[in-house]
Every structure is written in structure tokens, then in C-alpha cells.
Amino acid sequence: MNDPKQALNKIEDLLSAARGTDDLFQRAAAFSAISILVKGLGDYLEERAPYAGENIERLRAHASSMLGYDVTLGHSTEQHHVWALSAISALNEALDRLDR
């Protein structure tokens, strides 16, 4: 992965765009792209910041639930979106620490 910050920005953009649609195909496209980006981020951070693994899993789980590809456990799409954004914020902080 050349630019993990760009990947996080794209994930955030995709989550926001998918949040505003009920179109199954658009949600599937967002889920696919997000899954690939999260996998790449996980691989990148596994070597450099293994402590970030929990936030990778949080992002994966909440994005999946938000987009309808995992159970919601009774929480709203909006709540899963907020939790996914929280994981993105924590991952950005982990990347900032690596840059120091």
C-alpha cells in the first residue's frame, strides 16, 4: 500500500456515499471496495503498528453491518457509521504516530 491515509479517506467517502442510498448494487460496490482497502490497511499496519489491529477489525465489522453484509445486533445504520468513523479516526492517529 503506497498511501494508507488516502485509503482511509476513500473508505470514509465510500461509507458516506453508501449511507445515502438503498440501491443494492451501489452498496455492494462500496462494500467490495471497502473490504479490499481494509484488507490492504490491515496488511500494512500488521508489520508497522500491530496494536492497530483492533481498529481494523472495528472498521471492517461496522462497515459490513452498516452496508447490510453482517448482522446489526439491533443497532441502526447511522450508529454503525459513527462507529466506523471512530475506527477511521483511531487508525489515522496510528498512522500519524508512525510518521513521527
Domain ranges of the chain: 4-99
Q: Considering the entire predicted model, what is its pTM?
A: 0.94
Grid-cell match 452498496, residue found = 27
| Whole-angstrom distance, CA of residue 45 vs CA of residue 73 | 28
The per-residue pLDDT string of the chain (100 residues; one tens digit each, 9 = 90 and over) reads: 899 999 999 999 999 999 989 999 999 999 999 999 999 999 999 999 999 999 999 999 999 999 999 999 999 999 999 999 999 999 999 999 998 7
| Whole-angstrom distance, CA of residue 97 vs CA of residue 28 | 33
